[in-house]
Structure 1
Amino acid sequence: MENWKNSARAFWASMLPPTFWLVAFFIIPLSIIWLYSFSSKTGIIETTLDWNLTHYARALEPVYLGIFWKSIWMAAATTAICLVVAFPVAIAIVFAKPTMRMWLLLLVILPFWTNLLIRTYALIAVLRTNGFINNGLDWLVTHADWLLSFVGLGNNMLIGPYQPMALLYNNTAVIFGLVYVHLPFMVLPLYAALDRLDRTYLEASLDLGAGHFRTFFLIVVPLALPGIASGVIITFIPAMGSYLTPDLLGGTDSYMIANVIASQFKQANNWPFGAALSFLLMYATFFALALRAVLMRKEGRGDRR
Structure 2
Amino acid sequence: MLWQAKRRIEQRYQNAIHDLLQACVGAYAKNTSAEEFEQMMRMYASSEAFLGFANSLAEVMITGLFDDVGRSWREAAHHNMQGRELYDLLINDLAGARGEAMHRMINENASLIRTLPTSVAKQVSEYTMREALKGRRPEDIEVEITKLFPRRSKARAKLIARTEVAKAQTALIQSDCELIGAGWYIWRSTHDQRARYSHQKMDGIICSWRDPPNPEKLFPEPRSKPYGEYHPGDTFNCRCYPEPLVMKSQIIQNTYSVCINGRLIIMKRSDVIRLIAV
TM-score, reference length from structure 2: 0.35
Which structure features the higher share of helix residues? 1
Structure with larger RCO (C-alpha < 8 A, sep 6+): 1
TM-score, reference length from structure 1: 0.33
